[in-house]
Structure 1
Amino acid sequence: MSHVLYELENGVATLTLNIPTRLNPIAMDLQVELRDTLARVADDRSVRAVVLTGAGKAFCVGADLSAILGGADDGDGKAKGSLGTQTAEWMQSLSNPLIEAMHALPVPIVAAVNGAAAGAGVGLALAADITIAARSAYFYLPFLPKLGIVPDLGCTWFVPRRIGAARAMGMALLDERVSADQAERWGLIWAACEDDLLLLEAQKIAERLARLPAHAVLEARKAFEASAQHTLSEQLHFESERQRELIDKPSFSEGVTAFLQKRAPVFPGR
């Protein structure tokens, strides 16, 4: 059985994490399949947006701890290095490239968090460009209070950028679940909605994103990342240099023409 289900309709690819009996842990097999599926999306120019969700009652409950603990032995009783060393190597060869692949995907991603997003599942949800959640969903970082390890899969990068250092520290240290409604109030996610409307809302958002200029999501990611490193003067210069290139693209001409003609712009795909 596939650990990642794939469906394409009207230019929107829906990717569903599919280990529902175990609440969709981010197991190694699932990570491999998800990376392969993202590569499929990147290669298919008919795809213009992605919805990422989970099957069953959870979005993703994070690391498969039983598999990590079992990995210290190669089957014949011989250690393959410390558990920490193995885990770091797994992350650097598989998990980290997965998050980087999401962040580099040439189409926007909508995460539809249908239940618990815990541990590394939070990083997966926040690696999307737009994150929405069912009202029954929650976000939980048990790394330090339960295991004595730092949040990973990008949590320490995404969380403070979305909600600031104070709330990020609270999430990391206080061992509390953040409800979907609280996450919406804080700005951790775009919106919370009724459980039975989650996928419908995600599809609507994805279809809106699919109508954007093909380069829009990559430009938005780069611009906001640059702003975190720049002074105001440096960022103003960055913006003007991007306009130097983007105003000469067909999408700008189409946008201006559509505005003058009082119609919605129609942008070509990738």
Structure 2
Amino acid sequence: MAGKSAPEGYEASSYPPFAVTTDIVIMTIRDGALRVLLVERKKDPYAGSWAIPGGFVEIDEDTHTAALRELAEETGVDAEDFHLEQLATYSAPDRDPRMRVVSVAHLAFAPNLPDATAGSDAASTRWWSVDDLLSDPDAPTLAFDHEEILRDALERVRAKLEYTTLAARFVAEPFTIAELRAVYGAVWGVMPERANFTRKVLATDGFVVPDGATGEASRSGGPRPTLYRRGEATALQPALLRPRSRAEVEPERDALDN
């Protein structure tokens, strides 16, 4: 505990240098795409490379406090305004060329996040498309083991949409089922089949509630879509599981192909 002296015979110098850092994955949906906030590193190691914001935990901090501080210092984003949770711990012996470093990564997935501004340790900041970073061969290679951290964060965010009503926070009220479905498509990387998605959403108590109005008619002259608002539910029971196969996504097209 703090304030206690070291045990008799204990010599800190007998142990190799060891440090703890925190990395903060901040995700949102912008322009219809899932995006992550990255910083361009100003200093070595990996100067000029893109990285997840983060830094060393100071001697009088816990990792959550350090995450809030580092995010504000490097990007100007105040994480006090949204939920920040622990993602995982990364401890491969060679993950940092400076010394033995263990990182406690944190994650936030929230709507309406602000633009970022580069702080003293960052050359610039940018909201990158997650799909581009992980799928485009021309995308930059992330510093350290940050691609692994990003992939883990993506899986956590995708799972959140299966078991919670978080997706409804990313559409402005009132909204259509099609607009809500587009959020799932952006995060999951595949658009859920329309009829099945609509049926599951409307069958889940408290997920959405009718607004009592309708939206604009489509250009094809179809019926005006019903508008909805967010319900009071926070968890989805049963879960709205993401498609696992092409047949679950496009059964109508599969039928045509046959």
- TM-score (norm: length of structure 2): 0.30
Of structures 1 and 2, the larger Rg is shown by 2
